[in-house]
Amino acid sequence: MPDLVTRCRFGAYATDEPYPIESHFALEARLGGTKLPVASWFQAWGGGWIKSEADKLAARGGYDILMCWEPHKINFDSILRGEHDAYIRSYIAEAAAYPNLVSLRPFHESNGDWYDWAPGSGRGYVRDATQWKEAWRHVVGVARTVPNSSRVKFYWCMNGNDAGGPSMEMLWPGKEWVDIIGVDAYDWGAPGGGSFDQIHADAYRRTTALHPTAEYWVGETGRDNLGDTAEWYRGAYRSQQFPRMTTVCWFHKNNFVVDGNHGSLAVHRAELPRAPQYAGGFPASGTGGRTTMPPAAKLPAAPATIDVSVARPMGGGMYEFNVNWTAPKDASMVTGYHVAQASSTQWKSALLPTTVRTFKLTNFKLGEEIRVSVTATNGTREGPAALAATKIADTVPRPAPTPMPSPATVTEWLVVSPNHPTSTRRPPA
């Protein structure tokens, strides 16, 4: 079977998207400029269709929207009484006006016990699996009475494993009420967490058995950034499994940011352009046509040099780092810099103006490895990264007894740059 990346679309939920949608475009730039044609959004019931942000997607062309539609604190008795029917019709009518496909993901992960709409939560909003299925059918039935509602699909999305609630099979409403099937599943970084294939294999087998033909989507997935995630993401892109898996959405937030270390970033940048939907165009869902990608824009060059050094001990066994870089040789396109840092305990990112070429990193422990990348941006797209990595070695002096020691007490700094593949030491200036 061909690699998954050659037969599947990859989208993303890009940190707080769609509030604002620009985070999606920024992630695309960060991953090398490849379009992520499924924008994954979250919205609570009661809110209207987010037309302003959807219009920005439509203006760029070639994006579908995956909307996680969350009925927080909604009693399912009120759904079955029809108290939300007018809202459902209004929402579907607005969503159906979007020029490409909209997939709604209501009541997601209901075979867990952490959401109001999960029968296993014990919060009283839904009595049991039977009422859950009745409510699902009611919502879909009302939605399908709206003109042009065939442009809006309903995605039945469970958690990758049953966790404290009814099984996913007990929550199956029937194939006539479902357009897309799939799950959310993560590798949380714990021992035995599993590869992409391992965390999806059982859920894929179980859900595809429920519907013989529906596309299988992954609504949320990713790998915790503790440790090196590059091989995990490479394994996902090169999976030889899951013939009905047609869309995968990365969950780009908190510990699961997809660019949390340099190795992962390099994998995404290398693998995403292999997808056929990005090579000259991809099928525009719901239209039958093809959307042609614009010519590749010229990108800013990478910073000429990058230098990472231990600045000073902070007390309590923690240390402060300085990151410094120099502008590209041709800086005519540069409007700012994006600094990203990852370690085993934290991840930081900052957008800085062209006048700033230094950044402080604080609260790192002795022996902790730190990875840093700096890219130049032209305001909408980023160029290649300058990369550096270093480790606080045992030779770094312990904190002085004074609360704020001067930098002069640091007898050695560690420096890593593209020209120095291993740490070199020099005395402080």
The pair phi, psi for residue 311, each rounded to 5°, is: -85, -50
4-291 to CATH, choices 3.40.50.150, 1.10.510.10, 3.20.20.80, 3.40.470.10: 3.20.20.80
pLDDT average, residue stretch 321-349: 77
pTM for this prediction: 0.68
Q: Tell me the C-alpha distance between 248 and 9, whole Å.
A: 6
pLDDT higher than threshold 80 for residue 414: no
pLDDT higher than threshold 80 for residue 345: no
The fourth-level CATH superfamily of domain 305-426 is Immunoglobulins (2.60.40.10)
Alpha-carbon distance values, 355 to 247, 321, 331 (Å): 41, 20, 12
Q: What is the pLDDT of residue 190?
A: 72
Please state, rounded to an integer, the average pLDDT across all residues of the chain. Answer: 82
Alpha-carbon distance values, 310 to 271, 388, 418 (Å): 34, 13, 17
What's the per-residue H, E or C state across 276-295? HHHCCCEECCCCCCEECCCC
Task: Judge if the upstream peptide bond of residue 173 is cis by omega within 30 degrees of 0.
Answer: no
Look up residue 268 and give its two tokens: 């995404």
Position 264, amino acid: S
* Residue at token pair 């957008």: 351
Alpha-carbon distance values, 237 to 243, 275, 424 (Å): 13, 9, 36
- Residue ranges of alpha helices (H) inside 61-166 are 76-80, 85-96, 129-143
- 150 secondary structure, DSSP code: G
Question: Interior CA angle at 401 toward 396 and 406, to 5°?
Answer: 65
Report yes or no: 8 and 246 within 8 Å, Cβ to Cβ. Answer: yes
Of 405, 395, 339, 408, the closest CA to residue 370 belongs to 339
Report which listed range, 68-77, 266-275, 316-325, 340-349, is most confident: 68-77
pLDDT average, residue stretch 30-43: 93
pLDDT average, residue stretch 252-272: 89
Q: Which helix (H) or strand (E) holds 421?
A: strand 420-426
Residue 421: pLDDT band (50, 70, 90) is: very low
Q: Which residue has the higher pLDDT, 237 or 289?
A: 237
Position 50, amino acid: I
Strand order in the sheet with 358-365: 358-365, 318-326, 305-315, 413-417, 420-426
CA dihedral 185, 189, 190, 191 (to 10 degrees): 110
Residue 84 C-beta-side C-alpha neighbours within 13 Å: 22
**Lowest-pLDDT range, 7-11, 259-263, 336-340, 365-369?**
365-369
Q: What is the pLDDT of residue 281?
A: 33
Residue 296: pLDDT band (50, 70, 90) is: very low
Report which listed range, 260-269, 359-368, 404-413, is most confident: 260-269
Cα dihedral 227, 228, 231, 235 sign: positive
Q: Which residue has the higher pLDDT, 109 or 61?
A: 109
- 53 secondary structure, DSSP code: H
Strands 282-283 and 102-106: unpaired
Strands 336-343 and 347-353: antiparallel
Q: What is the pLDDT of residue 360?
A: 84
Q: Tell me the C-alpha distance between 46 and 98, whole Å.
A: 19
Q: Tell me the C-alpha distance between 50 and 34, whole Å.
A: 24
pLDDT higher than threshold 50 for residue 333: yes
**Lowest-pLDDT range, 153-162, 224-233, 247-256, 416-425?**
416-425
| Gyration radius of the chain over CA positions | 24
pLDDT higher than threshold 90 for residue 191: no
Segments making up each domain of the chain, as ranges: 4-291, 305-426
**Lowest-pLDDT range, 89-93, 132-136, 178-182, 383-387?**
383-387
Alpha-carbon distance values, 254 to 302, 328, 342 (Å): 26, 31, 12
Q: Tell me the C-alpha distance between 313 and 61, whole Å.
A: 51
Q: What is the pLDDT of residue 420?
A: 31
